[in-house]
Chains A and B, each alone.
Chain A
Amino acid sequence: NAGVTQTPKFRILKIGQSMTLQCAQDMNHNYMYWYRQDPGMGLKLIYYSVGAGITDKGEVPNGYNVSRSTTEDFPLRLELAAPSQTSVYFCASSYWGQEKAFFGQGTRLTVV
């Protein structure tokens, strides 16, 4: 099992550009999460999903969109990148929200 895979690992965007951060898991987990982590800070929940076709906002959803068409994939979309979205983004998954969540290695995004 690969676990939780995030792509790309690094990306530089210009202000106003758009991009999709990819997240895939091969553990058949129902729950998936997107977090952002600014330097020296804790993780903030952006969006989460409890299953295919179901998504919900977290603490900091503005400027982002998600979709969950399959159990395996949970992409995060930035439509109009802003410098405030410069951060490290982590994707995670868990089985029915129970016990442990598995995290990807992160995507480091810089918006200039």
Chain B
Amino acid sequence: DAKTTQPPSMDCAEGRAANLPCNHSTISGNEYVYWYRQIHSQGPQYIIHGLKNNETNEMASLIITEDRKSSTLILPHATLRDTAVYYCIVKETSGSRLTFGEGTQLTVNP
């Protein structure tokens, strides 16, 4: 699975958009980009995933660059409850294990 690089921490003001970057320059053609988050002490929670097109669901939007070497997770209107560690993971959809890096600690401030 391709390795990912994320900033260790970010801050965001409540109500503003949170944009979390992820670099995955060694991603291969059949690997997807997944995002999970972990709110303090809880089990991780799936957010969104995509291959090359931008994706949006009720939680967030995922923007993947055309060369697929980086992506951005967007929380359009961050709330205090979005404070969590966000993990960017690159893997094939099946047949491979799910491994986590260190993630980005997002702190949403009032």
Question: Which residues of A are in contact with B by a Cβ distance under 8 Å?
Answer: 4, 33, 35, 41-45, 48, 50, 56, 58-59, 88, 90, 92, 94, 96-106
Contact = CB atoms under 8 A, between A and B. Distances in A.
**B-side binding surface: helix, strand, loop or mixed?**
loop
7 contacts: A4-B43, A33-B97, A42-B87, A43-B100, A90-B44, A97-B97, A106-B41
Nearest to B91: A97
B98 A105 contact: no
A48 B85 CA distance: 23
8 smallest beta-carbon distances between A and B, as pairs? A103-B43, A100-B46, A43-B100, A97-B94, A98-B93, A42-B102, A96-B94, A42-B100
Chain B residues touching A, range: 20 to 34
A35 B87 CA distance: 15
A33 to B, nearest CB: 6
Contacts of A4: 43
A104 B43 CA distance: 6
Contacts of B94: 96-98
Nearest to A48: B97
B62 to A, nearest CB: 13
Interface string B21-65: 000000000000000100001111110010000000000000000
Contact of B43 (A45, A90, A94): A90
Contacts of A97: 91-98
Which residue among B46, B97, B101 has the maximum number of chain A CB atoms within 10 Å of its CB?
Answer: B97
Contact of B44 (A50, A58, A103): A103
Nearest to A88: B41
Given A97-B94, A99-B49, A106 B43 contact: yes
